[in-house]
């Protein structure tokens, strides 16, 4: 299912609740391409957490030669200009606020170098993921054999 569909269903069941969707900071650089981003941003606030050393779409979210901020917005039209202005994470968050009315918050959490892709890679190569996840999640992964 798409995130927007899950949020829509949940918000319909809990109309008096304010929803927040937690993502890794790198997701901010692709969310405008997700299904129905306008609706997604209207349904939930976004809490984004940066990883150590992550300040941008350096994870590959921006395609080479692609402008990560449209030239119609604030006069910023390429990665180099935005880097020189301020932290790319905040620039992208502001872009999504301006374009979609998104409510985006920096989680300001301590950085723990664990990513879903590293966990999946460790599982597939037979290495331990103990202490990387809460025990119930680890037990579920072992029981269901997902990510094998």
pLDDT at 87: 81
Q: Tens digit of pLDDT for each residue in 80-120?
A: 544 433 488 889 999 999 999 999 998 887 777 778 888 99
pLDDT at 70: 37
Q: What are phi and psi of 26, to 5 degrees?
A: -65, -25
Question: 130 CB contacts (<8 Å, ≥6 apart)?
Answer: 138
pLDDT at 51: 62
Distance CA 8, CA 63 (A): 30
Q: Is the pTM of this model over 0.75?
A: no
> What are the residue ranges in the chain where pLDDT is below 50?
55-79, 81-86
């Amino acid at each position: 299912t798409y995130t927007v569909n899950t949020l829509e269903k949940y918000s319909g069941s809990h109309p008096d609740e304010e929803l927040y969707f937690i993502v890794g900071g790198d997701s901010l650089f692709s969310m405008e391409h997700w299904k129905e981003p306008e609706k997604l941003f209207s349904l939930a606030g976004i809490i984004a957490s940066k990883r150590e050393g992550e300040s941008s779409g350096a994870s590959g979210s921006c395609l080479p030669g692609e402008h990560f901020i449209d030239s119609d917005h604030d006069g910023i039209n390429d990665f180099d200009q935005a880097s020189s202005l301020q932290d790319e994470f905040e620039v992208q968050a502001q872009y999504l606020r301006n374009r979609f009315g998104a409510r985006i918050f920096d989680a300001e959490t301590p950085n723990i170098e664990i990513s879903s892709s590293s966990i999946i890679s460790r599982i597939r190569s037979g290495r331990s993921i103990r202490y990387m996840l809460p025990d119930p999640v680890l037990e579920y992964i072992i029981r269901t054999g997902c990510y094998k």
